[in-house]
Structure 1
Amino acid sequence: MQVPEYVIDASSIIYGWDNYPIAQFPGLWEWLATQIAEQYLIIASVAFDEVDDNSPECAVWLNGAGITKIIPQNAILQDARRMMRLLGIMNDDFHPKGVGENDLIIIASAKSFGRPLISDESRQKVPDLPKKRKIPAVCAMPEVTVQCINFLEYIKKSGMVFR
């Protein structure tokens, strides 16, 4: 079964890789490879770089599956800067408990492609200080409006049964 088209964050594909080992869940990874081959699942290049830095074996698998990497063009970078302003982030003064520059590029990439984002960053009560918001809270902002689900929700929404 095919699910809607999504952009996946490094946190989610690494979560899947670590918690659903390919040797024990081959059907899941075969299905993900199909989703990737049909471009139902793509990744921002900055997220892919994070995967490569943190889970090189997963990055090799993604490349082997032929994942499409979104290279941030000017419109994506401008939208990420707009989000920085919305969060009150000036002069790259990111809060350690909030999103980073790559996170905003990932959100802007999903928005530019009109796709929901799969992210396993923690859900949080919206912090008083906007720059403390993580990916799901930024996605939920009325000025951003990108649907954000986690890896397990993605699998459940697919309706797939793996045997």
Structure 2
Amino acid sequence: MPPSDAPAPTIRPAAPADLPVLGRLGALLVRVHHDFDPLRFIPATPETERLYAGFLGTQLQEPNVVMLVAERDGEVLGYTYAGVEGNDYMALRGPAGVLYDIVVDPAHRAQGTGRMLLEATLAELAARGAPRVVLSTAERNENAQRLFARAGFRRTMIEMTREVEGDAG
């Protein structure tokens, strides 16, 4: 944990040079979710960091994507990945900003970095015309749920999962 007089992180757009760290953080996200519910969430593999970084790299120049990083002294502490989407009839919603990922390195949590990333992402989505922002969070991710509730998010959907019995193959 940095000293209390450490400067606040800078929030900036993600760049290609950030991708290795974003891949590591994305793989962390995969591992944490799999630990929450291994039947619902995919496991991380030795390739997850590289594949996640590669995927995020394809999103950097997408016009409807917002990808921000929190950085202090040249070190990326966390990131958000979000997008502006049109009508989604499967989700029964109109145009919205969608927050896909928000993750802060565990060594830098509980210092306001997640809140700063979330606020900057919400502002950028609003600037791009998103009339609302939606997100999903794992049922067991209580820390994230507290962050989102403090930021004014309300519960609107509950995902439920059931395994199909028998051989699917």
- Report the TM-score, using the length of structure 2 for normalisation: 0.34
Which structure has more RCO (C-alpha within 8 Å, separation ≥ 6)? Answer: 1
The structure whose Rg is larger is 2
Query: Would you tell me which structure has more strand in proportion to its own residues?
Result: 2
Query: Would you tell me which structure has more helix in proportion to its own residues?
Result: 1
